[in-house]
Structure 1
Amino acid sequence: MNADVSARAQEIATRVELFVRQEVIPYEQDPRLVVQGHGPSEDLVAELRAKARAAGVLTPHILPDGSHLTQRETAAVLIPSGLSPLGPIACNTAAPDEGNMYLLGRVASPEQKKRFLAPLVAGEARSAFFMTEPAADGGAGSDPSMMQTTCHQDGNHWVINGRKAFITGAQGARVGIVMARSDDGACLFLVDLPDPAIRIERVLDTIDSSMPGGHAVVRIDGLRVPAGQMLGHSGEGFKYAQIRLAPARLSHCMRWLGGCIRAQEIATAYACTRQAFGKSLIDHEGVGFMLAENRIALRQCALMIDWTASVLDAGHAGTEESSMAKVAVSEQLMKVADNCVQVMGGTGVTGDTIVEQIFREVRAFRIYDGPTEVHKWSLAKKIKREFAQGRPA
């Protein structure tokens, strides 16, 4: 932890780490953990959150007065919450809830906060962000301008129709944020879930398995939403989504940095105690060097997160910086997790330790909130634009 992070953040982070290590990690072998990407069961989520509430570490990044920690402080807290894939779920710092809480805290009306945000902060409800659409429909994925889901006003309601895909946590969520396209542009709506007009077609079998409710394909058929449940005004949806985007990218980096720190700890213990060819594995240069490379990469990731958090804390949008952080951290952590698996050999690909799951989760992280290639493409366009303007590289 950076020494210049506030004392309050250091104190919260210490309590979060102690809780995750002592209370959460033993749950990693719980039979209620569902395989094939559908996530932990609802009763397990409730049990973990009850323990976090009792320990005073539930939603630790939002203070009792409703204010949010700075991004640098948030990093200090979210990184240790990620030491177990179950940590963010227990502490209520997981995606998509963490990003949704941030968005609603910034832009929702007082009435909307009371109805939709308060249950999320209290850990009594989960949420889902309905943006991505099926490729087969020609819908929005990395390019949100391809949005096919439509909305139109009918009296004092809006009517929404369309299909969504890869909607994390839709199954079991009580709060939904739905993006649709009106004649004015993108719109965001707050909805109560479940709703008969929102039907889960299927929950996908995916490489990752840490998200409650998994990732669903959803059909929205004639959903009627009161006008007062729109965030802002018609056509402002992309503007509000951008408020959520940069911090959400960065918090993914924070949580999975914590996961890879844990994987490094496990791989190190294995390499220092496992004997082969007359000495400990770590004394074999090929193994020791992988762990050394990991230590360098983990430090680089921490510094990238801290730099981007500082930009956000200074009041800047941080769009470019968060893109760079997302690329750098996700790619570095993929290599770290892969090295940990490799160091542990056969044990590394089994469920006997959490390393195998962290490897799978980090592989999916390279796609969350925009694949690496999309971020590089966006950065390259900006570089070209700046060159045409005569600005230095």
Structure 2
Amino acid sequence: MCHIVAGMDFAMSAKAADYHKRLTDFMTEHVFPAESSYEAYREERGPKDHTVPPVIEELKVKAKAAGLWNLFLPSESGLTNLEYAPLAEISGWSLELAPEAINCQAPDTGNMETLHLFATEAQRKQWLEPLLAGDIRSAFAMTEPAVASSDARNIETTMLRDGADYVINGRKWWISGAADPRCKILIVMGRTNPDAASHAQQSMILVPIDTPGVDIQRSLPVFGWQDQHGHCEIVFDNVRVPAENLLHEEGSGFAIAQARLGPGRIHHCMRALGAAERALALMVDRVQKRVAFGKPLAEQGVVRESIAKSRNEIDQARLLCEKAAWTIDQQGNKAAHVLVSQIKSVAPQVACTVIDRAIQVHGAAGISDDFPLARLYGWHRAMRLFDGPDEVHMRTIARAELGREKSPLASAASRQSSTAVTSA
């Protein structure tokens, strides 16, 4: 069945092309040269120090001055998802610096989307405005260690109304961003009504991180690496917050999660393509310079095949990502949900595969910190789990395919096959 829609056009607009050039210049002139300073600061402070390296704040000032700020949010930048896609991809070339430098870093982007869509005016003023300004950071507390949180209906944390307040009890983990001293607000998902229908039991509420009872117990490493912003395990012990901190209304937590995760998932995929492109660029550079068995690696047939496969896979994934972004722009998140599952199950795998090939041609150097490949691999291997593991997205894709009405071509082919089997 053909899934190409008439009028689908992925050509870069003049506005996007202008941003693309300016962001490319910003990366080459400012971001890449700043990577060594960022790494030196983190190495000097040690893995348990989650303060932001000063170079990030310096980059943010330069990005604001260049008009490269909040590009992810159409209401702020005027960019569509399709126009933003190649820009997010560029930021993926330097995953630890570039997204935050332009205020397009997870989980803040998803939280800003959520506040933009569902917060009251008072909530927007208190939390969205400083997030848009890059003055604070935030975290999203959904995942729990005791349940399979890929199904948000499993969430066990309770948020029970008590007079003018909600009282929160539960344990969350992999709460990205919560270790950063600049993190001031948590969006917490919990069960407000266990007797409601399964999709109406959950709600979301805003919890200032310094609220009594919020206990950040540890930051979890990814393959032994501590991210600057941290991935935290948090216990909520009788945490009391005013009822006006509720987002939208009781029972809307599942719907908010779906609205939040749609754009967030595709933004991750866009950046993953940038990481894959960087890995491929490093691979190409390495094999042209490295000699083994009397000739450059670039002349080895198996190496050339790795390069060719990588180019094919990146470009294929990019087209799928663009199709998903275009569909969100034209028809909304709901219409694009299967496409988002497709690219979410494809892009991280492509990134892992390409990065792994790059590691292989770098030899022992590839698994060291002399190159960014090991950390890139760790992040994108983790990406196959967060925002829904591959298996959940594949289940969504298969269910849609099995439930799809047959096209005239599929119906005719099925009848033909049935007739042939009967005749035999």
TM-score normalised over the length of structure 1: 0.91
8 Å CA contact 2:73, 2:113 repeated in 1: no
Distance 1:353 1:241, change over 3 A: same
8 Å CA contact 1:132, 1:167 repeated in 2: yes
Deviations 1:57-114 (A, max 9, x none): 2323347x73552110121221111111221122221111111112222222222211
8 Å CA contact 2:220, 2:226 repeated in 1: no
Residue identity matched to 2:69 = L
User: What percentage of aligned pairs have identical amino acids?
Assistant: 35
**2:322 aligned residue (306, 331, 342):** 306
8 Å CA contact 1:259, 1:358 repeated in 2: yes
Asked if 1:100 is matched to 2:118, the reply is: no
302-311 vs 67-76, which deviates more? 67-76
Q: How does 1:162-177 map to 2 (within 5 A)?
A: 162-172=170-180, 173-177=183-187
Using the alignment, how far apart are the partners of 1:299 and 1:375 within structure 2? 21
Q: How does 1:187-198 map to 2 (within 5 A)?
A: 187-198=203-214
Using the alignment, how far apart are the partners of 2:16 and 2:132 within structure 1? 18
- Matched residue SS, 2:241: strand
**1:231 aligned residue (243, 247, 254):** 247
Using the alignment, how far apart are the partners of 1:320 and 1:39 within structure 2? 40
Distance 1:39 1:210, change over 3 A: farther
Using the alignment, how far apart are the partners of 1:22 and 1:182 within structure 2? 50
**1:281 aligned residue (297, 308, 331):** 297
Q: Which residue of 1 aligns with 2:344?
A: 326
Q: How does 1:342-361 map to 2 (within 5 A)?
A: 342-361=360-379
Distance 1:205 1:131, change over 3 A: same
8 Å CA contact 2:269, 2:344 repeated in 1: yes
**How far apart are residue 156 of structure 1 and its match?**
2.1
- Matched residue SS, 1:94: coil
Q: How does 1:172-211 map to 2 (within 5 A)?
A: 172=180, 173-183=183-193, 184=196, 185-207=201-223, 209=225, 211=227
Please identify the structure whose Cα radius of gyration is greater: 2
Deviations 1:200-234 (A, max 9, x none): 01111222758432111000112222222211110
Using the alignment, how far apart are the partners of 1:39 and 1:17 within structure 2? 31
What is the aligned length?
Answer: 387
Distance 1:245 1:68, change over 3 A: farther
**How far apart are residue 158 of structure 1 and its match?**
1.4
Residue identity matched to 1:375 = H
- Matched residue SS, 1:194: coil
Using the alignment, how far apart are the partners of 1:229 and 1:380 within structure 2? 38
Asked if 1:218 is matched to 2:227, the reply is: no
Asked if 1:366 is matched to 2:384, the reply is: yes
Using the alignment, how far apart are the partners of 1:68 and 1:309 within structure 2? 15
Asked if 1:10 is matched to 2:17, the reply is: yes
Asked if 1:70 is matched to 2:77, the reply is: no
**How far apart are residue 33 of structure 1 and its match?**
2.8
- Matched residue SS, 1:286: helix
Asked if 1:48 is matched to 2:59, the reply is: yes
Distance 1:321 1:208, change over 3 A: farther
Q: Which residue of 1 aligns with 2:271?
A: 255
Unaligned runs of 5+ in 2: 1-8, 415-424
8 Å CA contact 2:222, 2:379 repeated in 1: no
Q: Which residue of 1 aligns with 2:417?
A: none
**1:241 aligned residue (229, 239, 257):** 257
Unaligned runs of 5+ in 1: none
- Matched residue SS, 1:9: helix
Residue identity matched to 2:251 = G
Distance 1:39 1:10, change over 3 A: farther
- Matched residue SS, 1:152: strand
- Matched residue SS, 2:93: coil
- Matched residue SS, 1:58: coil
Deviations 1:25-44 (A, max 9, x none): 22323322369987963243
Asked if 1:146 is matched to 2:154, the reply is: yes
Distance 1:337 1:27, change over 3 A: same
TM-score normalised over the length of structure 2: 0.85
Q: How does 1:4-43 map to 2 (within 5 A)?
A: 4-29=11-36, 30-33=39-42, 41-43=51-53
Using the alignment, how far apart are the partners of 2:272 and 2:226 within structure 1? 12
- Matched residue SS, 1:42: coil
319-328 vs 85-94, which deviates more? 85-94
Q: Which residue of 1 aligns with 2:164?
A: 156
Residue identity matched to 2:184 = R
Q: Which residue of 2 aligns with 1:83?
A: 93
